Amino acid sequence: MDYSPVLLEIQKEIKPLIGKGKVADYIPALASISPDKFGMAVTTIDGSVYTVGDVSEPFSIQSISKVFTLTLAFKYVGERLWNRVGKEPSGNPFNSLVQLEYENGIPRNPFINAGALVIADTIISNSKNALSTILDFIHSVSGNRQITYDRKISDSEKRYGNRNAALAYFMKSFGNVINQIDQVLDLYFHQCAITMNCIDLSRSFLYLANHGVNPLNDERLITVSESKRISSLMLTCGLYDESGDFAFLAGLPGKSGVGGGIVAIIPGQLSLAVWSPALNRHGNSMAGIKALELFTTKTGISIF
């Protein structure tokens, strides 16, 4: 199927939403990005790519990186991972502290910030150079070895990262962070500051659409079951306290980031990446959600 006409239609229909909402400014380095950008890329498992708009411009992937790090941590420790992090939607904002005290320092899921910090801690414990491990993984799934992080953004996250530091210290008090706090935060801020464009992002999620095998080189990265579990978590927790609404609207496993990107997959078929930096109050791209909803409505394909 040629997805180009449907992408053009979507671009036209979401125009009124472009720039509505607010670019993330609690990380000052993100505040200067133009809210008027919009790009969308579809990559099918057989490698065909369909695009519209600003698809070649790299942006900060932010929390989308949490899917890559979850994949690595899951590979390292298997089911033991779930002793340290839950698999329930939190119903709270991504950077919330409140649930952690009631739940003894065990984050609800790997996609809220607290969960991603535990995942970062797990990667540090299991690899020699955690950041290179993450970048190597992204290079292999995207097929692009140029991908790296933006130092201005990682510095900015570190400078204004008091809330993430609070989460990490709090979990350490329960024994759920093993490595040094600075090391864990540093890795987390760098993974969030990785920049990718829509084409690379859509390609790099194909291993999940393809049940654990990277279709670029036929390498099995994770088991079918692990791929199912990660995709299920995307469906239930990928857009934080808007995950239910997103599942209702788009009917797809997705993962968002405050850089304005959202990636979604249709298992067995394709992966989609959309970018528009203006966010709604949940920290998710306003035009991005609509674009993904329109894609499944117009094509009639979703996971249901």
Give least dist CB 266 to ligand GLN, A.
23
Give the interface size with ligand GLN as a residue count (CB under 6 A).
11
* φ, ψ for residue 42, nearest 5 deg: -120, 130
Q: How many beta carbons lie within 10 A of that of residue 99, not counting itself?
A: 17
Q: What gap in Å lies between CA 63 and CA 50, rounded to an integer?
A: 24
Residue 257 binds ligand GLN (CB under 6 A): yes
For ligand GLN, the closer of residues 107 and 212 by Cβ is 107
For ligand GLN, the closer of residues 3 and 188 by Cβ is 188
Residue 164 binds ligand GLN (CB under 6 A): yes
Give least dist CB 27 to ligand GLN, A.
6
Residue 258 binds ligand GLN (CB under 6 A): yes
Give least dist CB 182 to ligand GLN, A.
15
Give least dist CB 5 to ligand GLN, A.
32
DSSP 3-state of 110:
coil
Question: Can you tell me which of 94, 137, 205, 275 binds ligand GLN, judged by CB under 6 A?
Answer: 94
Q: Locate tokens 């990265």: which residue?
A: 221
For ligand GLN, the closer of residues 157 and 293 by Cβ is 157
First to last CA, the chain: 19
Residue 90 binds ligand GLN (CB under 6 A): no
Q: Locate tokens 């933006």: which residue?
A: 150
Residue 192 binds ligand GLN (CB under 6 A): yes
Extract the tokens encoding 39: 């790009």
**Under rule CB under 6 A, which residues in 43-62 are in contact with ligand GLN?**
62
Q: What gap in Å lies between CA 282 and CA 141, rounded to an integer?
A: 28
Question: Can you tell me which of 54, 77, 92, 95 binds ligand GLN, judged by CB under 6 A?
Answer: 95
For ligand GLN, the closer of residues 51 and 96 by Cβ is 96
Question: Can you tell me which of 11, 43, 51, 63 binds ligand GLN, judged by CB under 6 A?
Answer: 63
H helical segments located in 15-102: 65-77, 98-102
Extract the tokens encoding 261: 């990107």
For ligand GLN, the closer of residues 63 and 133 by Cβ is 63
| 240 touches 254 (CB < 8 A) | no
Bridge partner list, 132: none
| 207 touches 141 (CB < 8 A) | yes
From the number of C-beta atoms within 10 Å of its C-beta (0-12, 13-18, 19+), residue 273 rates as: buried
Binding site residues, ligand GLN, CB under 6 A: 62-63, 94-95, 113, 157, 164, 192, 257-258, 283
